Amino acid sequence: MLELINFLDCDSNILPVVQFIKNGIFPVIQIVIPIALIVMGSIDLGKAVLSSDDKEIKAATGKLAKRAIAAVAVFFVVTMVSLLMGMFGNTELGSQNAWSACWEAA
């Protein structure tokens, strides 16, 4: 168990991984995925409108609404993870808060 605590120390090799997740992956999740979901929903709705079928338009409108809700949910994933890291990352290991200190250092 002591080896795991030493591995999770922020000065070790885990800091670059945390920096990559916080500064590399999270912005992609927060920006690119919601935009892609809304663009795909708009394309589906555009195809349905061009086909002039009321049933298709209604189905595409429902699909666009579901994708917009999913886009909003994905956008707030980053906020929720940061909030959870702040709440549960305050486990004291020695004299420092390992996870919260590493998260803030990234």
Which pLDDT tens digit goes with each residue over 13-67? 677 887 888 888 888 888 898 999 999 999 999 999 998 889 999 999 999 999 9
pLDDT at 12: 64
CB 68 within 8 A of CB 37: yes
pLDDT greater than 60 at residue 8: no
Q: Is 12 exposed, middle or buried (0-12, 13-18, 19+ CB in 10 A)?
A: exposed
As given in the structure block, the two tokens for residue 40 are 């795909």
Q: What is the pLDDT of residues 78-103, one digit of tens each?
A: 788 778 877 766 655 544 556 666 77
Neighbours of 31 (CB within 10 A): 13
pLDDT at 13: 67
pLDDT at 1: 44
CA-CA-CA-CA dihedral for 9, 15, 17, 22, to nearest 10: 120
C-alpha angle 21/78/98, rounded to 5°? 55
pLDDT at 58: 93
